Amino acid sequence: MRIPTLSLILWSLLAPMISGAQENPVRVEGYLYLDHSPVSLKIQNGKILEINRLTEIPDGFPEVYIAPGFIDNQVNGYAGVSFALGGSDLTTEGVTKATRALWKEGVTTYLPTLTTNSREILLKNFRILAAAMENKEIRGSIPGFHLEGPFISPEDGYRGAHPAEHVRLPDWNELREYQQAAGGKILQLTLAPEVEGALALMDSCRENHILVALGHHNAPAAIITAAIDRGARIATHLGNGAANTINRHRNPFWPQLADERLMISIIADGFHLLPEQIRVFTKVKGTGGTILTSDVTGFAGLPPGEFVTSEGITIELTPEGMLRYPGQNVLYGSASPLSKGVGHVMKVTGCSLADAVQMASTNPARLYGLDDRGEIAPGKRADLVIFTLENFHVSVQHTIVAGETVYRAEP
């Protein structure tokens, strides 16, 4: 009997060397977001190992939900760091700071988003971001980038806050330079399909695996259909990036809503869309065709107060998370993280938590081919958000990224 025991001891010593160091499994408990069933998850080596559904709720079981980490496809900046502007705060450290602040809100994956700007600033910022995304400290939270502009509509209203002097016509050579600067990691381009050269650019995007989104445009129905035929997959923040006054028949909303091949993203922060818009959009597109996005600027995640932008404009962040021109109800941008959108979409549509999380995590993971994310299943990356939900308010208690706790709320 001594020999097998010895071989067992030897095996236990050698096995970690043979198979790579195995950490001890970590356990996470709470109610599964899908069906409110009590579960115990086992995590090992950054991945979900097992999901055990409990038949009885043990004493002291935590009153929290467990969901896959939120995935935000439009983050212009966060916690005082702007990805999109030309300021000097965009450094690897700045990106780490923004990422850590997003983790506190349960956002475990996001696409830093650059908007219409000069060629020099876009190239510079993509180079910095491409280096920053490799930083081990952010644990793979940035899989790639979103470029919104500069090939958008020059028309006031549709152009939104994008500076007119930097709006230009689509040019594949220019986009290719950005893609090179970004290390090949531009995952999505938002463009206006009606501007000269846009449809041809879409062909180049398709060949080069850049997903095309329609946004900040005033395209007629025939061009929207042509763009979807050429592979446009999603409408960026439907209902925003449009003029205040539109033709009741011929406007870009109807054809984008009517074509079931096109998904939509919506800013469900409680300020950018009316509840009835969110209800109609989600009814038409369904849970499977809708993505929640934040479109947050660098002012998001800061304490309420007044700030001066790099253009010298004074803006105000209210305690409710509205980013506006002081004393007016005119929005400057968005300041609510995706966690707020999850609660808000449930509040205004009556959808389940499972549906809200699908729109905030599963759908974007599938759209960008992030096969290891967006679901709780064995073998997936252990990117988890653990939260309470009261009065449609998501309060993040604990965030896990690639198996490691990166945030825990004060008790």
Which structure tokens are listed for 14?
């050698």
**What's the half-sphere exposure (Cβ side, CA atoms, 13 Å) at 270?**
18
**How far apart are the C-alpha atoms of 233 and 286, rounded to whole Å?**
15
- Shortest Å, Cβ 349 to Zn ion: 22
Q: Which amino acid is it at 47?
A: K
CB of 86 to Zn ion, least distance (A): 18
Which ranges in 183-330 belong to alpha helices (H)?
198-207, 221-229, 253-258, 275-285
For the bound state, the minimum distance from the C-beta of residue 189 to Zn ion, rounded and expressed in Å, comes to: 13
Our measurement of the distance from residue 325's CA atom to the centroid of its chain's CA atoms, rounded to an integer in Å, reads 25
Spell 12-51 as b/e; 16+ CB within 10 A means b.
eeeeeeeeeeeeeeeebbbbbbbeeebbbbbbeebbbbee
Nearer residue to Zn ion within complex by CB, 161 or 377: 161
Q: Which CB sits closer to Zn ion, 293 or 363?
A: 293
Stretch in the footprint of Zn ion (CB under 5 A) among 201-209, 234-242, 249-257, 398-406:
234-242
Contacts to Zn ion from residues 358-397, by CB under 5 A: none
Site size for Zn ion (CB under 5 A): 1
Indicate the residue among 43 and 189 with the shorter CB distance to Zn ion: 189
Q: C-beta of 237: minimal distance to Zn ion in Å?
A: 5
Helices within 161-266 (DSSP H only): 172-181, 198-207, 221-229, 253-258
Binding mask of the shown chain, residues 183 to 222, with x at each position contacting Zn ion by CB under 5 A: ----------------------------------------
| Of 94 and 241, CB closest to Zn ion | 241
Looking at the Cβ atoms of 65 and 158, the one nearer to Zn ion is 158
CB 121 within 8 A of CB 178: no
The closest of 399, 293, 393, 273 to 337, measured between CA atoms, is 293
Phi-psi map region of 183: left, alpha, beta (phi>0 left; psi -120 to 50 alpha): left
* Smallest separation, CB 113 to Zn ion (Å): 9
Collapse the DSSP code of 90 into the 3-class scheme (helix H, G, I; strand E, B; otherwise coil) and give the result. coil
Cα(378)–Cα(109) distance, rounded to whole angstroms? 19
Q: Which stretch binds Zn ion (CB under 5 A): 11-19, 83-91, 128-136, 239-247?
A: 239-247
Q: Which is nearer to Zn ion, 217 or 398 (CB)?
A: 217
Closest approach of Zn ion to the CB of residue 206, in Å = 22
Q: Closer to Zn ion at the Cβ: 138 or 191? A: 191
Judged by DSSP in three states, 169 sits in coil
Q: Does 333 bind Zn ion (CB under 5 A)?
A: no
Give the whole-angstrom CA distance, residue 59 versus residue 39: 14
In the complex with Zn ion, the residue whose CB is nearer, 74 or 339, is 74
Could you say which residues in the range 21-40 bind Zn ion, by CB under 5 A? none
- The interface region with Zn ion, picked from 2-10, 240-248, 302-310, 323-331 by CB under 5 A, is 240-248
Beta carbon of residue 166, minimum distance to Zn ion (angstroms, whole number): 14
| Footprint (CB under 5 A) of Zn ion, residues 133-172 | none
| Amino acid symbol at 20 | G
Least CB distance to Zn ion at residue 152 (A): 8
DSSP 233-278: -EETTTTSSS-SS--SSSSSHHHHHH-TT-EEEEE-SSSSS-HHHH
| Shortest distance, position 74 Cβ to Zn ion, whole Å | 8
The identity of residue 256, as a single letter, is Q
When the beta carbons of 108 and 188 are compared against Zn ion, the nearer one is 188
Cβ distance to Zn ion smaller for residue 149 or 289? 149
Least distance in angstroms from the C-beta of 76 to Zn ion = 9
Rounded to whole angstroms, how far apart are CA atoms 28 and 41?
5
With CA atoms as reference, report the closest residue to 152 among 124, 203, 116. 116
Binding Zn ion (rule: CB under 5 A), the pick from 30, 77, 193, 241 is 241
Question: By the criterion CB under 5 A, which residues form the site for Zn ion?
Answer: 241
